[in-house]
Structure 1
Amino acid sequence: MQEELRLHMPQWQGGNLSDYHLSSQLLSWLLPPSGGPEETVPVPSPGAAGSLRTEDGIVAKTALLEQARSARRAIEKHRPDRVLTIGGDCLVDLAPIVYLNKRYDRLGVLWIDAHPDVQSTKETPHAHAQVLAMLLGQGDPDFVGEVEKPVDPTMVMYAGLDEWSAAEDEVLSGMRLRQTGAADLMNDSSSLLDWIDEQRITHLAVHLDVDAISPAHFRPILFNKPGADSGFLQGVPRGRLEPAHVVRLLRDVAAKAEIVGLAITEYISWDAIQTRALLAELPLVGD
C-alpha cells in the first residue's frame, strides 16, 4: 500500500507576506482527514525578531533555508510514495520536488502558475519567485545545494503561463522550458498529455499556485486584497484559468501519469484575515 505524507508548511517569508501564514493554517484545517502521516514544518509567526533579515540578496534567507531543511527531514523521516504539501508561498515546493525527483526516474513537474518562478536576486529579493530556477540548478548556491539532482528542463511544463519578463525569457528560452497558456487549456489538455507521452513521464509532481486562477473566478488570492487601490500590483500578470479548468486538466493528466506530488501554494483567505482583524478590536476578545 502506498503511503502519502501530508506536509503542512505555513511559510510566509519567501514572499515576505505575513498573510500566507494564517491562510496556510486555514487551508490545512479545510482538508478532509488524512489516513496517513502528517508533519508540520516549524515556521516563526510573522513579526518574529530577525525573521526578515536580507542575506545575499534574499529576504529571510537563513530562515527559509532552515525551513527547507526541516521539510526535507520530515519527508525523509517517512520516505513516502506521495507528498501533499500545504503552503505557504511557492518556495514550500523545494524539498518535496527534490525528494520526488530522486525517487522517480521519469518524474514530470507540472507548474500551474501565472508566473514562471525563475527569477534571480537581480530581479527580486523574494525566494518564492526563484524556486523553479533553484530546482533546475540555477540561483543562490546555498539553495541550489539543497537540490541533489536538478530537474531536467525537458521534464518541466508550465500550465496557465501567459506573460513573463525579458529576464525570465532568458531562462525559459535558454532552457527551452515548455509552456501552455490559459487559452489553450480552456477546452482540452492535449498539450499537457502530448508532453507526458513525448517525455515518457510515469509520475508527476504538480505545483499549484492558486494565482494561476483568474481573480474574477477565485477570491482567495493576492490580487483580490480588500481595499487595494487601482494600482495594486500593476503590471504583475494575473492568472486566466478558471477553477473548473484546473480540476479538468489535473484529472486528464492523472489518467496518463501517477500524481505523486501536489503543492497548493499562495492561497490567501482574505475573509479570515479581515475577521481576525475585527476580532482583535472587540472588547473581551482583543483584551
Structure 2
Amino acid sequence: MLADEVDRIIESESFPLVLGGDHSIAIGSLTGVSKHYKNLGVIWYDAHADLNTADTSPSGNIHGMPLAVSLGLGHELLTQLGGYAPKVKPENIVIIGARALDEGEKDLIKELGIKVFTMHEIDRLGMATVIEETVNYLKEKTDGVHLSLDLDGLDPTDAPGVGTPVSGGISYRESHLAMEMLAEAKIITSAEFVEVNPILDEKNKTAVAAVALMGSLFGEKLL
C-alpha cells in the first residue's frame, strides 16, 4: 500500500514525505520511489545499517533488513515487492551516523563497497564535510536521492522516543546542519522520517525534533 501511494504521489509530480513507523516501511517507500529513477541514490541517516538478512540477523527483526531488501538481498516476497529488484545499487548508497553494526552487516559493507560515515568520521571531519562529501559522491551519478532518516541516528538525549536507541549519536544541531545543507544542495527528491515512538518519548521531544528537521530539509531558515 505504501509503495503504491508513494508511486501515485510521484506520478502527480509531488514530493513524497513518509512518516513512520519502524524502518521496515522503507521497503515500501523505496519500492514506490525507485521505479521512477534509473540510478536512485539513498542517504541512510541511521545508527544502524539495516543490512541484515534472515541469515545474518541476531534478532530476526524486519526493521533491521530494509536496506538489504532494497539491494535485492533477503526473502523474495520482500525483495520482489513491486515486481522488480534491486531497488538501489550499493554504489549509490551513503550511510551516515552508523555506530551499531552486526558482523554480517560489516562483511556486506566491505564486500559491496558501500560508503559509510560512522560517528568516528562525523566527529573527526565534522558534519559539514560529511554532507559535502555525500552530495559530491551522489550528485553526478544519481538522478534522484531518497533520504531515509531514522530518529535513532540522533543521540538519545535529543531523540529518546525510538525503539532501538544507541548512545553517542549525532546531535540535534548537527542534524539541522545536515538537513539545511541537503536543502541547499537541492538533491533530495523524496524522504521518510521513521522510528518516532510516542510511547517511549519524553514530552514529545523526539516528534518535535523530527518536525523541526523536516522543516530544515524543506528549506526553513531562522533568517
The equivalences for 1:31-50 within 5 A come to none
2:108 to 155, 162, 171: 171
Q: 1:116: which partner in 2?
A: 49
Any idea what SS the aligned residue of 2:73 has? coil
Counterpart of 2:163, as a letter, is: L
Normalising by structure 2, we get a TM-score of 0.76
Do the aligned residues in 1 keep the contact of 2:79 with 2:85 (CA within 8 Å)?
no
Q: 1:71: which partner in 2?
A: 2
Q: 2:153: which partner in 1?
A: 212
Sort the Cα spacing of 1:165 and 1:205 in 2 relative to 1 into closer, same or farther, 3 A: same
Normalising by structure 1, we get a TM-score of 0.61
Shift of 1:80: 4.0
Counterpart of 1:209, as a letter, is: D
| CA distance in 1 between partners of 2:171 and 2:202 (Å) | 24
| Residue 175 of structure 2 is aligned to residue 221 of structure 1 | no
| CA distance in 1 between partners of 2:105 and 2:201 (Å) | 34
Q: 1:267: which partner in 2?
A: 196
| Residue 131 of structure 2 is aligned to residue 192 of structure 1 | yes
What are the ranges of 5 or more consecutive residues in structure 1 without an aligned counterpart?
1-69, 225-236, 275-287
Do the aligned residues in 2 keep the contact of 1:107 with 1:203 (CA within 8 Å)?
yes
Counterpart of 1:133, as a letter, is: A
| CA distance in 1 between partners of 2:44 and 2:200 (Å) | 27
The structure with more radius of gyration: 1
Q: 1:125: which partner in 2?
A: 60
Do the aligned residues in 1 keep the contact of 2:161 with 2:202 (CA within 8 Å)?
no
Do the aligned residues in 1 keep the contact of 2:3 with 2:33 (CA within 8 Å)?
no
| CA distance in 1 between partners of 2:137 and 2:147 (Å) | 18
Sort the Cα spacing of 1:177 and 1:271 in 2 relative to 1 into closer, same or farther, 3 A: closer
Shift of 1:183: 4.3
| CA distance in 2 between partners of 1:256 and 1:273 (Å) | 33
Q: 2:70: which partner in 1?
A: 135
| CA distance in 1 between partners of 2:185 and 2:143 (Å) | 8
The equivalences for 1:238-257 within 5 A come to 238=167, 240-257=169-186
| CA distance in 1 between partners of 2:193 and 2:187 (Å) | 17
The structure richer in helix per residue is 2
Counterpart of 1:153, as a letter, is: P
| CA distance in 2 between partners of 1:217 and 1:272 (Å) | 10
Shift of 1:223: 5.3
Shift of 1:271: 6.5
What is the total number of aligned residue pairs between the two structures? 194
| CA distance in 2 between partners of 1:106 and 1:141 (Å) | 22
What are the ranges of 5 or more consecutive residues in structure 2 without an aligned counterpart?
204-223
Do the aligned residues in 1 keep the contact of 2:151 with 2:194 (CA within 8 Å)?
yes
- Residues 84-118 of structure 1: CA distance to partner in whole angstroms, max 9, x if unpaired? 11110101112222232221334310001111101
Percentage identity across paired residues of the two chains: 17
Counterpart of 1:189, as a letter, is: A
Counterpart of 1:98, as a letter, is: T
